[in-house]
Amino acid sequence: MLLQFRKVTRGFVATIIFGLIGVATVLFLIPHNGLQNPFAQYVAKVGGAQITPAELNRELDIALRRQRAQGHNFTREEAIQQGAPQQLLDALISRAALNNYAERNGVNASDAQVAAQIRQYPVTDPATHRFDQARYQAFLADLNYTGPEFERVIRADLTSSMIMESLAAGVRAPSSFGAIGVAIASENRTVTVAQAPISLAGNVAPPTAAQLQTFYDQIKDRLQLPEFRQVTLVLARKADFTQRANVTDQQVQDEFDRRAPSLGTPEKRSSVRIVAQSQAQANDVASRINAGQAPDAVAQALHLQVIHGTDEARAAVTDAPVAAAVFSQAPNAPARAVQGQLSWVVVKTLSVTPGVTPQFSAYKDQIRTELQTVASGDLIDTAISNFEEARAGGSTVAQAAQSAGLATVSVPAVEAQGHDTHGQPVPVLSGSPELLRAAFQTAEGEASDFMQVTDGEALVAVDHVTPPHARPLAEIHDDLAHLWVAREINRRMTEMADQVAQAVQHGQSFAQAARAHNMQIVLTSTPIDRQGVARIPAQRLGSQIFGAQPNAVVSDECVQRPQQPISGLCAHGDEFLIAQVERINRVDPATVPQLVERMRTQVQQELAQSFGEAIEAQITADAKPEKNTALMTRLFPPSGAAAEGGDQGQ
């Protein structure tokens, strides 16, 4: 099917059509500091709302700035590798879904609420505490927001909060939850712990063949190996074809000339503009300013609107005659009255920031790389078409790849989670879940279609399938024998601990029973809480202690030592621990009503948060958001995703 499609696209008309599509694709993929993209594109869509790459990039920049302000100096690349863009996109999707839900239910934050929220930001004059338009504009510029954009975001957040508060209202934890929380948090248990060297288990002989076979049969299910697949990857990597793309110096110069108007920085000016009600009033205002009165004072005295334009490009001054006046006056020249499109305006230019003309030398390497990237796409299409024709003619995957100039990587064995037979990740498949899925959805002896990956396109051919099976006994004989011996030692030590428990039940003290079995007391009547048991170097002993009744005896073998283990326990790592729970100590909730209420409030907050998160997740799911995963991958590619090593057929 793909082969026929590619053949069709070679016709004259198809070449024109796909050339136009190619131009659109180029404009989509050129970075924002290159060609400006005139087409609407989005990284996600929620109902009628679209989330654009510019919005997501802005949120990422703000998040990075916030982290740096807190002393966390993350780079953009580090944030991308840690999944920050995906997390921010999910947050933006939830915001849009909640906003859509609010609109459908007639909930909307008022202008007064929006204004009050905006005043919480640094947009007021410190002296007068009044809203300052200039500070607001500077604040917005710093965040890369326009006023309407920022106000829409504030309104959406306030509306979402109103919706969530109303939906989660009434969530209240009963007082019993607080009492239970106090009881659990304050509980500790008084224990005495004995320690026994595993040498007390005696000499354990290696298992006989019959014993080992029986043991193998008992645990065979736990020795099951998953299905493994031997695959060959055919890679059409952008980097390989970019090196083959021939871009001339004249092409680079022509592209620079075409982009030059958008690469430079326009001249910017700062000005003050006062909107008058008539020509006579405008002339009066200009005279007062030219006589030395401050523009703000004149505007305030006459109750007129004053506009402070700070470092504005000409396009930012929307009234054309006024813009012409601002950009024709010399800095600090006398103010003059100008008839604007709707009213008379007094204009005074304060300062000029010259524009910057782009230099070819600063952009030529970037443009050459971009043109090579575009050209490499055509080369990749040609190589893939050649590969598919060779396959249709009877060539093997390796032969077809070699004839088409495509790289191949052989993976001897991989299971569905991307690990090899030693449990290690397969590097060439790391970060490419689509390739791994294709490897396990394609039949043995077949190949998938080419699919988009981070560094181009790739195909997966399944060479051989090894079904799930238990590892044969002969293969793991020695390891299994060691495991059998360890199990036997543990069984004998557990039996000894049971004997101590029986002695205690018959009236003997725990210390006497332990010493009678040559065990050493290492902790005597020691209170220990839930944090403390985590310092016991035994996997199950802590949970057993807090699950046992008073006077019960529990035991476990020593394991890998935790951080800051309790002194004296499992010093050599080959001991066995036996503990008696002497008493259970709890605070009576009735004696600490304030603590109970504080705990109840904490539990209530956690319940409300969990309930709110569940509601938000459901509203977001019901909105059926669409993510543009291909664009996300291109915008925020994971590092190290390109296949390395093992190339053949270069």
pLDDT number for residue 21? 32
Distance CA 285, CA 301 (A): 10
Instruction: Give the pLDDT band (50/70/90) at residue 106.
Output: confident
Q: Is the pLDDT of residue 27 over 70?
A: no
38-66 exposure pattern, b = at least 16 Cβ within 10 A, e = fewer: eeeebbbbbbebbbebebbbbbbeebbee
Instruction: Give the pLDDT band (50/70/90) at residue 639.
Output: low
Q: Is the pLDDT of residue 240 over 50?
A: yes
First-last CA distance in the chain: 26
* For the ranges 1-10, 194-203, 244-253, the one whose mean pLDDT is highest: 194-203
Distance CA 463, CA 440 (A): 12
Distance CA 578, CA 380 (A): 68
191 touches 581 (CB < 8 A): yes
pLDDT number for residue 7? 35
CA nearest 243: which of 347, 368, 330? 368
Distance CA 448, CA 256 (A): 40
Q: What is the pLDDT of residues 529-588, one digit of tens each?
A: 988 888 898 989 999 999 999 999 999 998 867 778 888 888 787 899 999 999 999 888
pLDDT number for residue 567? 82
pLDDT number for residue 170? 67
CA nearest 95: which of 163, 42, 41, 171? 163
Q: What is the pLDDT of residues 341-398, one digit of tens each?
A: 889 999 999 999 998 888 888 888 888 888 887 888 888 899 999 999 999 999 999 9
567-586 exposure pattern, b = at least 16 Cβ within 10 A, e = fewer: eebbeeeebbbbbbbbeeee
Find how far residue 187's CA is from the centre of its chain.
38
Give the torsion through C-alpha atoms of 246, 248, 253, 258, to 10 deg. -50
Sign (positive/negative) of CA torsion 79, 80, 81, 86?
positive
Q: What is the DSSP string of 139-201?
A: HHHHHT--HHHHHHHHHHHHHHHHHHHHHHTT----HHHHHHHHHHHH-EEEEEEEEEEGGGG
Higher-confidence residue of 17 and 160: namely: 160
Q: Is the pLDDT of residue 41 over 80?
A: no
CA nearest 418: which of 427, 408, 406? 427
Q: What is the DSSP string of 320-339?
A: HHHHHHHTTSPTTPPPEEEE
**Stated pTM of the model:** 0.47
pLDDT number for residue 60? 87
Q: Is the pLDDT of residue 247 over 50?
A: yes
Q: Is the pLDDT of residue 35 over 50?
A: no
CA nearest 196: which of 494, 564, 431? 494
198 touches 523 (CB < 8 A): no
Q: Is the pLDDT of residue 180 over 90?
A: no
Q: What is the pLDDT of residues 489-521, one digit of tens each?
A: 999 999 999 999 999 999 999 999 999 999 999
Distance CA 357, CA 263 (A): 8
The DSSP output letter for 476 is: G
Cα within 13 Å of Cα(221), Cβ side: 1
